[in-house]
Amino acid sequence: MKPDCVRMLISMSSSIALSKLAKYIGGKSSRKLSQEFEQLRKKLLGSTPMG
How many other C-beta atoms lie within 10 A of the C-beta of residue 34?
15
Q: Which pLDDT score, from 0 to 100, does residue 31 have?
A: 85
- pTM of the entire structure? 0.54
pLDDT of residue 15: 94
> Residue 35 burial (CB < 10 Å; 0-12/13-18/19+)?
exposed
Whole-number pLDDT of residue 2: 74
Assign 30 a pLDDT band (cuts: 50, 70, 90). Answer: confident
- pLDDT of the residue at 4: 78
Would you place residue 11 in the very low, low, confident or very high pLDDT band (cuts 50, 70, 90)?
very high
Is the distance from CB of 20 to CB of 14 less than 8 angstroms?
no
Ordered by start, the domain boundaries in the chain are 19-51
- DSSP structure class, residue 42: H
